[in-house]
Structure 1
Amino acid sequence: MTSTPGTSPLAEAPRTLAGGSGLATLLTDPRHALVSLDYDGTLSPIVNRPSDAVPAPGALSALARLAERVGSVTIITGRPVEALLALARFTDEPGLRSMVILGQYGLQRWDASTGTITSPEPLPGVAAVRAALPKLLQDAPAGTVVEDKGHALVVHVRRTADPDVSLASLTPALTSLARDNGLEAAPGKRVLELRPPGHDKGRALRDHMAELGARSVLFAGDDLGDLPAFDAVDELRAAGTPGLTVCSDGPEVPGKLRERADLVVPGPEGVVALLRLLADRLA
């Protein structure tokens, strides 16, 4: 079922039987459910500058209400944990004391219950790519910027005159640079991320599910980087664990993500509405 602004994300059943089963299990056994969400484009609107991506209105309170009723609420993001904590201010919401953030696609972890962050040392290739990028990008279109995540580097072209053309022109050289230094080049919404290989949201989700012993899962996302998490939900369902995939829709959302989702809601405001409805159902 595809929702439109002004309609309830749960006004109808999810458009797949598997998604319906995932939702039903979450609602009947919430204490063993994992609700996991991407951040940018899912809990926060897409903006030109990553540093401006604050949570959508009502997002933190909706998360907190749901966190009181389900087994675990977890954010899985490509952002560094420290940057996300400073931006989203999750620690200001008392109801999120049990939340977990898996940052950098699971390389980093923050547990609200302890306030601790665990993080490995960056791969050597990250420093090499960092040093090489200024020269490689010296003739890049105006508006091209680099976001340094510590464990990865992201080339943003959203502020160039023609983002799609800019990304296409830069991708071959950036892909070669990543490969030559033991990294991978992962595309997203008008970005290319040069990051450690083998780490994605699917792996982070599977590992966290196993750690929790969760019996159902909801995952919500909006970009190509969320497809591995959709794959993980499919694998879990095939092994007998019910799950529900949610697309936070918008003009830049890849068609393949929208097509794969069990439930499509209208952007971050639709995600917030969905979280509130789930909390109401479980009250």
Structure 2
Amino acid sequence: MREQLSAELLTALETIAGADHLLIALDFDGTMSPLVPHASDARPLPGSAAALSALGQLPETTTALVSGRALDSLRAVATPDPETLLIGSHGAETWTGPDGAPLTLTSQQTDLLRRATDAVQQVVDAHAGTVLETKPAGVVLHTRTADDDVAAAATDAARLALDQLEGAHITDGKRVLETSVISADKGQGIRSLRKYTGATAVLFAGDDVTDEHAFAALEAQDLGIKIGDGETSADHRIHSPEELVLVLERLLELRRASAQT
């Protein structure tokens, strides 16, 4: 099935597989896992999970998940290996091991989060099929299970209410509207992981508009892979999470061969 991957992408994988220290950072929903109506039902495709786990066991190779999910939610659905580093809540939460400092909010941020949550709850109560999700530093309006017209109306109503809250950072995603009381994005997550690991090259794959911050943080020696449709600054594009399995399996082959030379 490898012929599904373009010659240009295969060449790029061959190049990055030889990095002195490779960081493989992946979004989860729509990337390792197909998108599903209910977020709690998401699971990584077995091939992606197996390949990422095997990559994490190779010398000078670090794996990471960089997700919009809160860390607890990400752990529940992705069941990552202990060695896998985690960035959650679009960069607001970071897990680099048991000694890492937990996220803490100021009293002002805590109050702002309460008011943002109340605003989104009022929208959910008035729009059938929409769902509220709370995060340690934010609140999310989910509209994937609502009719299209209801989803659009709910998103507009939530944005109008949240725009009145000074200090609230609003981000659009695929059928979600996210609000955080901390200014953070996946690009910051990629930069912090690069610094923490000392990676000489980074591979990042993602599918959503929020992943564009991560693509923008990549450097000349890195590799960005966009999954699905939509404008992107990524170097390469594949069409589905199923194709990501092929990418990771090929990278695993190449990285193993590089480690043996």
TM class by shorter chain equals: 0.7 to 0.9
Contact 1:167–1:191 (CA under 8 A) maintained in structure 2: no
Contact 1:108–1:120 (CA under 8 A) maintained in structure 2: no
**Residue 145 of structure 1 aligns with which residue?**
131
Contact 1:35–1:72 (CA under 8 A) maintained in structure 2: yes
**Residue 171 of structure 1 aligns with which residue?**
155
Give 5+ residue unaligned stretches, structure 2: 257-261
Query: TM-score if structure 1 supplies the norm length?
Result: 0.80
Corresponding residue to 2:147 among 161, 173, 190: 161
Q: 1:277, 1:151 → 2: CA distance?
A: 37
Q: 1:13, 1:267 → 2: CA distance?
A: 17
Contact 1:205–1:229 (CA under 8 A) maintained in structure 2: yes
Give 5+ residue unaligned stretches, structure 1: 1-5, 91-95
**Residue 30 of structure 2 aligns with which residue?**
41
User: Residue type of the partner of 2:195?
Assistant: A
- Change over 3 Å in CA distance of 1:55–1:111 after alignment to 2: same
Map Cα deviations across residues 31-75 of structure 1 (whole Å, 9 max, x no partner): 411111101000111000000011112222110111123521111
Identity in percent: 31
Contact 2:92–2:185 (CA under 8 A) maintained in structure 1: no
**Residue 198 of structure 1 aligns with which residue?**
183
* SS in structure 1 at match of 2:163: helix
Structure 1 residue 138: Cα displacement: 3.2
Q: 1:111, 1:9 → 2: CA distance?
A: 35
Equivalences for residues 1-283 of structure 1 within 5 A: 6-8=1-3, 10-14=5-9, 20=12, 23-29=13-19, 31-69=20-58, 70-90=60-80, 96-111=81-96, 114=98, 118-121=102-105, 123-124=109-110, 125-140=112-127, 142-162=128-148, 165-181=149-165, 182-233=167-218, 236-237=219-220, 242-249=221-228, 253=229, 255-257=230-232, 260-283=233-256
Q: 1:50, 1:120 → 2: CA distance?
A: 25
* SS in structure 1 at match of 2:159: helix
